[in-house]
Amino acid sequence: MTSRRTFIKTTAATTAAITIGPAISSALAGCAASDRINVGLIGCNGMGFADLSAFLEHKQVECIALCDVDENVLNKRAADVEKIRGKKPANLYKDWRQVIDNKDIDLVIIGTPDHWHCLMMVAACEAGKDVYVEKPIGRTIEECNLMIKAAKKYKSIVQVGQWQRSDKHWQDAVDFIQSGKLGKIRLVRVFSYQGWCPTIPVVADEPVPAGVNYDMWLGPAPDRPFNRNRYHFTFRWFWDYAGGLMTDWGVHLLDYALYGMNVTAPKSVMAMGGKYGYPDDACETPDSLQTIYEFDGFNVLWDHAIGIDDGAYGRNHGLGFVGENGTLVVDRGGWEVIPEAVNGTKRMEAVPLSQGDGRGLKNHVKNHLDCIADRNPKTNASIEIGAHIAKFSALGNIAYRTGKKLVWDGTSFTNDKDANQYLVPQYRDPWKLPVI
């Protein structure tokens, strides 16, 4: 099964193998200046660079700026761009605001930790730039609301990094679900069991590594001593910066639960879980979690676990749309239909596995570039799509953190006013929540 780590490693290996050649050089030379899209990347590790690499497969794209708070990462990625295009980006920054201020940049890619997304995207939109922003677009409901407002007000063409929206087999699965052939769907089972994702042991705080602007890394998050567990990939397991597996994988998978069922906001949400597998490790977010979202006539069940791979249907991630006639199962590898058999009689024919082609990210980037050319805001993963699933995942985390069943009216919790404190973030000075 494809894991996030495998995906990133595969992309990085492919990128590392690329060298500048006559065909690429000639294509770049033949691209008219008026068609050129100058890109600046903020956050050069992991998916940020995977995204940039996919953009650089297109001759009209030129990377003119990289920005990262870690000088070691910044220099490494500059060398990687040189391998791909034959020259390093002209601008290497450690302060993301310099990317925003650079008037030559047309498109900003945001690959930072989640707690930075809102400020950076809003600033980029205000500066008249288009944006590719990694998922989840925001940590809180209000951040998502502001990001929608900014994209609309400044007419920026925004693509959210939910690349499964551009993966053909996922769309084919939705078409089958909405055909009605499964019969009445009672439950959408969504699961992410990530055995490759290890526990992180408790380690002591330490001095900030050389070349790292740690205060800028923290940004609007609370001031804390440097700890390597909170830095780079494992920031995902701390509430200050992200939302654990619920938001890391949930925005990809839960998105298709909502898309398939053609719904957005639940009536209520409740969650149960905890640190069952690794009670004494350094993570704050739960390693095991079950969340139930209530809709009219069906429920969506989210189920995740870290450190084990046995999810459902013989997969470590995916969705099962459980219908009266059969269950459609879909993951990053493909989709199939398992017929319901009652008293030995099948209610429908099985649909054998239809495999995906693994071109989700490539298709996603092309869709964004096409929409930029046409000034079409309806990208495959528009800011509205990214916002409603980021909110949906955030609701699950809020239910877990409060330990209550919460009733949601689309704007706030109506049965527990205290839970509404999680809807708006508290930013550390001098950073302020944008006003639009």
Query: 122 with 371: CB under 8 angstroms?
Result: no
Q: Is residue 336 part of a domain?
A: yes
Instruction: Over range 326-352, report the average pLDDT.
Output: 96
Given this model, what pLDDT does residue 138 score?
97
Instruction: Over range 394-422, report the average pLDDT.
Output: 97
In the 8-state DSSP scheme, what is residue 424?
A: S
| pTM recorded for the entire structure | 0.92
Given this model, what pLDDT does residue 8 score?
37
Query: Which of the four pLDDT bands, split at 50, 70 and 90, describes residue 217?
Result: very high
Q: Is residue 45 part of a domain?
A: yes
Query: 406 with 398: CB under 8 angstroms?
Result: yes
Determine the Cα–Cα distance for residues 259 and 389; give it in Å rounded to an integer. 10
Checking if the pLDDT of 13 tops 50, the result is no
Determine the Cα–Cα distance for residues 119 and 257; give it in Å rounded to an integer. 29
Determine the Cα–Cα distance for residues 393 and 291; give it in Å rounded to an integer. 10
Residue 306's Cβ-side half-sphere holds a number of Cα atoms within 13 Å equal to 28
- 3-state secondary structure at position 412: coil
> What are 132's two structure tokens?
């590719």
Given this model, what pLDDT does residue 22 score?
33
Same domain for 265 and 307, yes or no, is yes
Q: Which residue has the tokens 């809003």?
A: 122
Q: Is residue 77 part of a domain?
A: yes
CATH number of residue 339's parent domain: 3.30.360.10
Lowest mean pLDDT among 6-15, 52-61, 110-119, 410-419: 6-15
Q: What is the pLDDT of residues 348-367, one digit of tens each?
A: 999 999 999 999 999 999 99
Same domain for 69 and 186, yes or no, is no
Q: What is the pLDDT of residues 98-118, one digit of tens each?
A: 999 999 999 999 999 999 999
Determine the Cα–Cα distance for residues 111 and 54; give it in Å rounded to an integer. 13
Mean pLDDT, the chain, integer: 93
Same domain for 157 and 39, yes or no, is yes
Same domain for 273 and 172, yes or no, is yes
Same domain for 256 and 347, yes or no, is yes
- Give the number of other Cβ atoms within 10 Å of residue 258's Cβ: 21
Residue type, 180: G
Number of structural domains, the chain? Answer: 2
Same domain for 192 and 220, yes or no, is yes
Q: 26, exposed or middle or buried, with CB in 10 Å at 0-12, 13-18, 19+?
A: exposed
Q: What is the pLDDT of residues 270-308, one digit of tens each?
A: 999 999 999 999 999 999 999 999 999 999 999 999 999
> What are 418's two structure tokens?
């205290």
- What does the chain come to in residues? 436
> What are 89's two structure tokens?
């980006």
Q: Is residue 433 part of a domain?
A: no
- 3-state secondary structure at position 111: coil
Instruction: Over range 57-83, report the average pLDDT.
Output: 98
Lowest mean pLDDT among 6-20, 44-58, 189-203, 395-409: 6-20
Checking if the pLDDT of 11 tops 60, the result is no
Determine the Cα–Cα distance for residues 137 and 251; give it in Å rounded to an integer. 10
Same domain for 237 and 317, yes or no, is yes
Same domain for 170 and 301, yes or no, is yes
Q: Which residue has the tokens 């890619």?
A: 109
CATH number of residue 22's parent domain: 3.40.50.720
Query: 104 with 207: CB under 8 angstroms?
Result: no
Same domain for 192 and 290, yes or no, is yes
Determine the Cα–Cα distance for residues 428 and 154; give it in Å rounded to an integer. 26
Q: 263, exposed or middle or buried, with CB in 10 Å at 0-12, 13-18, 19+?
A: middle
Q: Is residue 430 part of a domain?
A: no
Same domain for 193 and 128, yes or no, is no
Q: Is residue 422 part of a domain?
A: no
> What are 403's two structure tokens?
């330990």
Checking if the pLDDT of 435 tops 70, the result is yes
Q: What is the pLDDT of residues 238-280, one digit of tens each?
A: 999 999 999 999 999 999 999 999 999 999 999 999 999 999 9
Which strand (E) or helix (H) includes residue 398?
helix 383-402
Residue type, 420: N
- Give the number of other Cβ atoms within 10 Å of residue 251's Cβ: 27
- 3-state secondary structure at position 246: helix
In the 8-state DSSP scheme, what is residue 430?
A: T
Q: Is residue 201 part of a domain?
A: yes
Residue type, 280: D
Same domain for 223 and 279, yes or no, is yes
Given this model, what pLDDT does residue 35 score?
86
Show the domain range for 206: 166-356+389-415
Comparison of pLDDT for 33 and 424, the residue scoring more: 424
Q: Is residue 311 part of a domain?
A: yes
Query: 173 with 335: CB under 8 angstroms?
Result: yes
Q: If you compute the radius of gyration of the chain from its CA atoms, what whole number of angstroms results?
A: 22
Determine the Cα–Cα distance for residues 138 and 158; give it in Å rounded to an integer. 14
CA nearest neighbour of 28 among 19, 20, 16 = 20
Same domain for 193 and 145, yes or no, is no
